[in-house]
Amino acid sequence: MGTLIEEIFGRRAGRPVQAGEILLLDVDYIMSHDNTTPLAIKAFRDIGKPIHDKNRIVLHLDHAYPAPNVLAAENHKKIIEFVKEQDLPHFFHQGVCHQVMLEEGFITPGAIVIGADSHSNTYGAMGAFGAGLGSTEIGVAWVTGKCWFKVPETIRIELKGKAQPGVYAKDVMIYIAGMMGMDGGTYRSVEFGGEYIDNLPMHERIIFPNMSTEIGAKCGLIAADDVTIDYLENQTPAKGPFEKIQPVNPRYERVIEIDVATLAPQVACHPDVDNAKPLTEVEGLEVHEVYIGTCTNARYEDLEIVANMLKGKKVNPHTRVIVTPASNRIYKKALNNGLIEILMDAGCTVTGSGCGACIGRHGGILAAGERALTTMNRNFIGRMGSPLSEVYLASPATAAATALTGRITDPRKSLELIS
């Protein structure tokens, strides 16, 4: 009896649990990547005990992959040697960790998955608990198979209505970040539901838990339903049966209702995610780079939106337009279906999958004085390179419209929805 997080944690604890309790729970998977694994290895070595269950460990190379310099290469080498030494079965270098976790079927309803990456909240899209932790705690979980959790209070975000054409889940989430602020969900589970979510395909749903991190949430959750089960059965190797865990007579700390029909495209302006504005307020602002990628918005359907808008056109010649599919699987599908050709013909640079540009490592670094509009989830000072650069966040459709003009542009114009 409780909120979605109380239901998920209660099943694992084997008894009803309530917000405020502190639990020590078994975790299903423990994820880390090249940026965070070295410190986890250090913690593991320092503890000096064996791995609890190799099958629960999932490692990725994605944050500086392929290696842009010798230091990154040495880091990868160290991780690969560790994978060999410990004979770890789940090791990937085929795209952004969170996308690969979903594609490979590690994330199922009710699963408890921790990751040494703040956007591990993404897994909540499948009705699973996903949360980011630091590396030391990942090393601890390798040894113990467990993690402590304080059962969080829940904020329910009830999304009503139907979004206008040209307005996407990214716009809705940027609006929510602006409304709640960067610490509006701190220590909380944020449950996203309502008829808007019910009618949303999986690739759009993922954005809400993914960006719940940006409002400080411990986790962002969407209850599993037919859309979830369809995704798991048809797009992943996950084995059912899957339980559609739902909140039962939940007691919410707060319920926020939003009618998405009232929203226009949004932009999160430099330098904070909660600096959200309707696009019309910043329309026409020059950008030097458009970056379409990351765990937020580089899924096949996102690339399809962009390709449909750029088909037969050319991007602004003075704007670097970079497209990084979220995974090799997405890249391959986009290639086979002709999307990559459309993007390249329009003047986009398509790069191998990874997280490099999003953390200012490689694949789209900004110079001082430059401004980027991107589909990322974070726009902190210096995030994509020079501390004197600026990052604006928006939907893939806004990114495509902006790529054509080199200025922040309302996608509804390109989509011929408004004159």
Partner 1 sequence: MGKAWTFGENMNTDEIIPGRYNITIDPLELAKNVFCEVKPEYAKNVKPGDVIVGGQNFGCGSSREHAPIAIKGSQAKCIIAPSFARIFFRNCINIGLPILECPDAVADITEGDEVDVDLATGQIFNRTNGHQYQANALPDFVLKIAEAGGIVNFLKTHDIQELMS
Minimum CB separation from partner 1 for residue 65, in Å?
13
Question: What distance in Å separates the CA atoms of residue 214 and residue 207, rounded to the nearest whole number?
Answer: 11
Tell me which amino acid residue 418 is: I
Cβ-based nearer residue to partner 1, 203 or 270: 270
Cβ-based nearer residue to partner 1, 216 or 278: 216
Token pair for 292: 């379409």
Q: What angle do CA 24, 102, 230 make, to 5 degrees?
A: 110
Minimum CB separation from partner 1 for residue 394, in Å?
20
Question: Which residues of this protein are in contact with partner 1, per CB under 8 A?
Answer: 22, 24, 35-36, 38-39, 42-43, 46-49, 71-72, 75, 115-118, 120, 132-137, 139-140, 143-144, 146, 148, 182-183, 186-187, 216, 218, 272, 359-361, 378, 380-383, 387
Cβ-based nearer residue to partner 1, 8 or 404: 8
Minimum CB separation from partner 1 for residue 13, in Å?
12
Minimum CB separation from partner 1 for residue 244, in Å?
28
Question: What distance in Å separates the CA atoms of residue 26 and residue 195, rounded to the nearest whole number?
Answer: 33
Closest CA to 267 of 406, 380, 398, 169: 398
For 247-293, give the DSSP string: -BS---SEEEEEEGGGPPPEEE-TT-TT-EEEGGGTTT-B-SEEEE-
Minimum CB separation from partner 1 for residue 290, in Å?
20
Closest CA to 31 of 68, 61, 60, 70: 60
Cβ-based nearer residue to partner 1, 3 or 402: 3
Cβ-based nearer residue to partner 1, 12 or 378: 378
N residues, the chain: 419
Dihedral angle sign, alpha carbons of residues 41, 148, 100, 87: positive
Question: What distance in Å separates the CA atoms of residue 266 and residue 162, rounded to the nearest whole number?
Answer: 16
Minimum CB separation from partner 1 for residue 339, in Å?
29
What are the residues facing 257 on neighbouring strands? 158
The label of the residue with tokens 């008829």 reads: 195
Cβ-based nearer residue to partner 1, 280 or 380: 380
* Residue 296 CA from chain centroid, whole number: 4
For 113-158, give the DSSP string: EEESSGGGGGGGGGT-EEEE--HHHHHHHHHHSEEEEEPPPEEEEE
Token pair for 107: 């994330």
Cβ-based nearer residue to partner 1, 95 or 139: 139
Q: What angle do CA 151, 157, 163 make, to 5 degrees?
A: 150
Token pair for 209: 């838990």
Please give the C-alpha separations between residue 361 and each of 20, 72, 160, 394, in angstroms, as whole numbers. Answer: 39, 10, 39, 21
Cβ-based nearer residue to partner 1, 58 or 224: 58
Cβ-based nearer residue to partner 1, 33 or 412: 33
DSSP code, position 217: B
Element holding 216 (H helix, E strand): none
Cβ-based nearer residue to partner 1, 117 or 410: 117
